[in-house]
Every structure is written in C-alpha cells, then in structure tokens.
Chain A
Amino acid sequence: MSSIPHKVRRPGFITVGQFFQENQGPLKLKLIGENAGSLRKIQEPSINRPGLALSGFFDYFAFKRVQVIGNSELAFLEGLDKNARLRRYEALCGWDIPCIVVARGRIVPEDLIQAANKAGISVYQTSMVTMKFINLATMRLDWAFSPSTTAHGSMVDVQGIGVLIAGPSGSGKSESVIGLLQRGASLVADDAVRLRLSEEREVVGSSPDITRSKIEVRGLGILDVARLFGVGSVRLSKRLDLIVHLRVGIELHELERVGAEVRTEDILGLPIPSVDLPVAPGRDISGLIELAALNFKLKAFGYDSAADFNETLLKKMANDQLG
C-alpha cells in the first residue's frame, strides 16, 4: 500500500528579520537603534548568554545563537570604565552573531547600540525576565527549525481525533469532509495540509493562511467553512493521530478484515496509525471515517475491539477442547 509522499523541509537557518516578525508579539521584542542586521542568519535554535564572552573569554563562544544580555551581564559591564566597556562591546560584535537582545526591559547602553549597528547587528529589547525569555524563545526557535512538509489530503478534527484523509484526486476527500462537518467535526485544512514535527514527539497539522477555512467541492467550487457552518467548524491546528486512505477500485483481499494489526506509516519520522477505506457507491464514507476515529480513540483508552474479540474466541475454543 502506498503511503503519503511528502517532501520534507528542514530549515538550516532563519533570518533575524523573520524571527522578529514572527515573534515580536509573544516575546515582547522591540527594535532599539537601527534595523542594521535583519538579514543575518540564526543558525542554531537556541539562546546564548554571552557573560563569559563579555569578560573576554571567547573559547567555545556559541556565536551562532541569539545573544541575550540580562541583569548579571549589565551589572558586570557597569562595573567597567567607559573605554573598557566599549572594547568589550566591540569584541562581542566582532563575531558573526545573529542579534543581541537585552532582557527585563533594561535600557540598552548607547555604546552597545552604536558598536552593534556599526558592525551590522540589530539590537532588541524585551520586557520579559531573562529566563522566561530564554525558555519561550528556545521553544519558538525549535518550532521554526523543526522539519515540516505539505501533504496532499484533508485534515479534520473528529471528536478530538486529528484525522488526515488521503486519497487520489477525485476519491471524495472534500465530500467526506463536508459530511463530517455536518456531523460536528471541524476542518483543519482541505486538500493541502502543513504538517510539522513538534518537539520530536508529535506531528501537528495546520492550514496555510491563504486556504484556511476554505474547501473545494467539485460542482460547487470553493466554499468558506467558517461562514457556512460557523466559526467553531474551523481549527487552526491539530495533532495528527490517524491517517485514513480512501481507496478507489481496491480488491477485497487487499483489505484488513479483523482490525487486529495496527499499521503505521512514517510522517516526518514518526509512526502514525493508518487505515484503508474502500470507496464505493452507497458506502457512507463520512460515517466510516468517524467510526475509524472513534475506534482509534477506544484503542487509545486501552480497549481493542479486535483483540478483545479474538481473546474471547480463543478462550471458548480452549474450553470446548477441555470439555
């Protein structure tokens, strides 16, 4: 059985400008001085406190990371005389660092702004406490650097289960999504789903901004789900739990009949459970997808219908043999 082909993107860097654009709100960032280095690259998804570097020790200096200056660095610098301080700033900015962030809303020293801007480095200020900033920025950088892909299929949240409906064009993906929406499911994305590996432990699906809440139904065209079904029918993102493949013209012997085997397929390195549903006239595909999602939920709760049934059968046969 074919799985979902997907081309994986692994960003090797993001630019400082991108980082600022996407995080200025959550990380409470403000540009101080000139926008001198927005094209510089952040090449590692973590943060460095340049305390040792500011004291003159540059062995093992993690210069590829965002440099955060907190209270202790500022206190140390304040203890130096003006010229020494300036030399430390220039030494720091002599490295190919992406940018400098001063935390706790502390006033950014004028010398630092000048030294940095002169070297083509932007300086930002955040009102967050240093540790909080480091934690959140690390998480957000991790997200920005995580592998992602675009899958051909539609994704819905069915009773809390994130289901990706895959299948060739014309197999009825969008139509079954409409059926599911009418049963109370909500749409994540139609026909093209962004999937991203989150913290190496789950795959999260979302819609590209431009197609969010839109669905294409043959014969009707592009519809807006939030306007037709209410805004509750749209989800911004959802963890991927189950893949349902719609199979056209599939032979009966190719199908799983007992449901005892759990098949998984690789998405961004994680095994995701998947099932095949044959598409044929008269089969209520939406109903079957909902059933697949509910059965998955039951298994997640620890109950496996197929295994339970087989156990009962084995027990009965063992008893019959004895008697």
Chain B
Amino acid sequence: MMLEKEFTITNKNGMHARPAAQFVKHASQFQCEIWMEKDDEQVNGKSIMGLMMLAAARGETVKLTAEGADAEKAMKDLGDLIETGFGDVE
C-alpha cells in the first residue's frame, strides 16, 4: 500500500535536530518505507541527516509518502507528530 499526504510544519523553530530525531524515532518503529519531500527534494524519513537537509521551517509544507504493510498506521502516527509540533519541542 502506498499513501501520500501533505502536512504543514507548525512548531516554532521548524524541523531542527530534536524534532528530526523525534520523527526518525517514530518512523523507525514501522516496517514500511517512509519518504519526506519538500520542494521536489525527497529524502528517507528514517534518516536524521536527510530530514535536516530539507530544513523545513515553520509554515512550510512537506509531503509524506509511506509504502508498505503498515503504511496507514505510520501515516497517522507521523502526521499527528508533525501536527502537534513534534510533541511540543520548540
């Protein structure tokens, strides 16, 4: 199964080291492939370096792609994480 959805970064300082680490921690719990995309640049959602390279700032839109058996669960969990500002990290 492959799912795609767009999300807006809401936490104050954007996706810097700690939010990226949070995201990777969550993403790594799933078996499916996870990709994050911004401005045509697509990186692996289980890679901290990849996510930080996107430098997704507050207010910017990223596209998540999940492919695999647990894609639906992953998309829900990771979407919530982004929308709640990565668990209140600044």
Contacts and interface: CB of A to CB of B under 8 A. Distances in A.
Interface of A: 7, 9, 150, 152, 169-170, 190-192, 208, 210-211, 214-216, 222
B24 to A, nearest CB: 8
A211 B40 contact: no
Interface in B49-77: 49-50, 52-53, 55
Given A9-B41, A192-B44, 13 more contacts: A7-B42, A150-B41, A150-B43, A169-B28, A190-B49, A191-B50, A192-B49, A192-B53, A210-B52, A211-B52, A214-B49, A215-B49, A222-B17
Which of A7, A169, A190, A214: most chain B CB closer than 10 A? Answer: A169
A214 B37 CA distance: 21
A210 B47 CA distance: 15
A211 B53 contact: yes
Contacts of B47: 152, 169, 191-192, 216
A191 B48 CA distance: 8
Contacts of B50: 150, 152, 191-192
A208 B48 CA distance: 14
Nearest to B34: A169
Nearest to A11: B40
A191 B49 contact: yes
16 contacts: A9-B41, A150-B42, A150-B43, A150-B50, A152-B44, A152-B47, A169-B44, A169-B46, A190-B49, A192-B43, A210-B55, A211-B49, A211-B53, A216-B48, A216-B49, A222-B49
A190 B52 CA distance: 12
A192 B37 CA distance: 13
A60 B48 CA distance: 50
A9 B40 contact: yes
